């Protein structure tokens, strides 16, 4: 088991190293000048050259990369934003918790429901409920995420007035001082029930938007994986020995979870792409909105930092999925 974990950690380290080299190289070879963006539209050539020297852009590419990675590894320095002149690490610490909270609430919505629906349709394969659920799954996978967001806004905000169109908290509340950065948790820790209700009210639509596509994928994977296990010889033997259907289903579901857990991990990582659109549509003050502003303003340091951050999150999620295999299938330990 220790050897398995060590091998995975080494391979993930190489993935992160390669990702850092690739993203840094791309950020330097694209036809845009970070020094000119930092100096402003009306800067002279001498001013741009001065900014280029101060930012180290006059050095060879490998020297720039070593300088950048040394700052990250030794000092946690991700550079300074051109737009607001703040350290990028402070901006990420401000905006990232909102995105993580949105992603976690979305997973809480879609994972239990997706596994439950997939199990239900596998047990009732071929019936009307199975066909209806599969139709919903196909629709959820094929519909673009921004269309889902706009439809939810149209129905639940404009037509029914059940939920707000965007934001993270009602205008009647002042944002509480951050404890964890997760607004739902912070409001509970401070004992403010009305503020918690407002935060939950505001996160419902964006979390549901993220959950729709993930719910469809998890449902389909659970159904197909469970159907395959239920047709195995040992399941037929268990039924022949008189085991109750609930016990058979419980054991079969555990044995079918490895591909489901893999898909859940991949879907969590795919939220990295979805979060840009969802946060922009719902005016959610998260890392996606911050990244959009950086991209529009050619703010290279935040773009580079966010790319590396998302790479680390993706690798960490996949590593957690690999570790979960050890619990789901003990044979992997050996």
Angle at 51 between CA 48 and CA 54, to 5 degrees: 155
Q: What secondary structure does DSSP assign to 139-205, as a single string? A: HHHHS-HHHHHHHHIIIIIIIS--S-SS-SS-TTSPPPPPSSS-HHHHHHHTT-HHHHHHHHHHHHH
**Predicted confidence band at 330 (pLDDT cuts at 50, 70, 90)?**
low
Structure confidence at residue 309 (pLDDT): 84
**Predicted confidence band at 31 (pLDDT cuts at 50, 70, 90)?**
low
Give the global pTM: 0.81
Q: Which residue would you say has higher pLDDT here, 100 or 74?
A: 100
- Segment 306-321 shows an average pLDDT of 82
Return the CA Rg of the chain: 24
Structure confidence at residue 332 (pLDDT): 64
Highest mean pLDDT (candidates 15-19, 30-34, 158-162): 158-162
Range in 5-14, 158-167, 237-246, 285-294 the model is least confident about: 5-14
For residue 108, how many C-alpha atoms fall within 13 Å in the half-sphere facing its CB?
9
Distance CA(247)–CA(331), nearest Å, equals 22
Averaged confidence pLDDT in the chain: 80
Q: Domains, the chain, ranges and CATH?
A: 2-75 (no CATH), 94-333 (1.10.3720.10)
Distance CA(274)–CA(211), nearest Å, equals 10
Q: Give the model confidence (pLDDT) of 202-243 as tens digits.
A: 898 998 888 887 888 888 888 888 888 888 787 788 788 777
């Amino acid at each position: 088991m220790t050897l398995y974990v060590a091998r995975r950690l080494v391979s993930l380290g190489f993935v992160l190293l390669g990702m850092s080299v690739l993203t840094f190289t791309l950020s330097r070879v694209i036809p845009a000048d970070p020094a000119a963006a930092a100096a402003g539209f009306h800067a002279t050539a001498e001013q741009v050259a001065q900014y280029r020297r101060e930012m180290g852009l006059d050095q060879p590419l490998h020297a720039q990369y070593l300088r950048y990675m040394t700052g990250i590894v030794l000092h946690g320095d991700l550079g300074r934003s051109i737009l607001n002149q703040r350290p990028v690490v402070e901006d990420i610490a401000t905006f990232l918790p909102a995105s993580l909270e949105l992603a976690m609430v979305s997973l809480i919505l879609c994972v239990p429901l997706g596994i439950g629906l997939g199990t239900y349709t596998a047990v009732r394969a071929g019936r009307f409920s199975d066909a209806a659920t599969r139709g919903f799954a196909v629709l959820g996978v094929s519909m673009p995420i921004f269309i889902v967001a706009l439809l939810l806004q149209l129905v639940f905000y404009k037509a029914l007035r059940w939920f707000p169109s965007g934001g993270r908290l009602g205008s009647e509340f002042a944002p509480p001082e951050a404890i964890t950065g997760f607004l739902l948790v912070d409001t509970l820790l401070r004992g403010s029930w009305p503020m918690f209700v407002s935060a939950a009210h505001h996160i419902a639509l964006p979390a549901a938007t993220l959950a729709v596509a993930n719910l469809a994928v998890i449902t389909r994977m659970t159904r197909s994986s469970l159907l395959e296990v239920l047709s195995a010889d040992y399941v037929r033997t268990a039924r022949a020995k008189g085991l109750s259907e609930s016990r058979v289903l419980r054991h079969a579901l555990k044995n079918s979870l490895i591909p489901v857990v893999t898909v859940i991990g991949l879907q969590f990582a795919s939220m990295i792409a979805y979060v840009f659109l969802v946060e922009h549509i719902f005016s959610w003050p998260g890392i996606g909105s911050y990244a959009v502003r950086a991209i529009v303003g050619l703010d290279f340091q935040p773009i580079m930092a966010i790319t590396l951050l998302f790479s680390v999150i993706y690798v960490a999620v996949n590593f957690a999925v690999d570790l979960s295999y050890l619990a789901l299938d003990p044979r992997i330990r050996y």
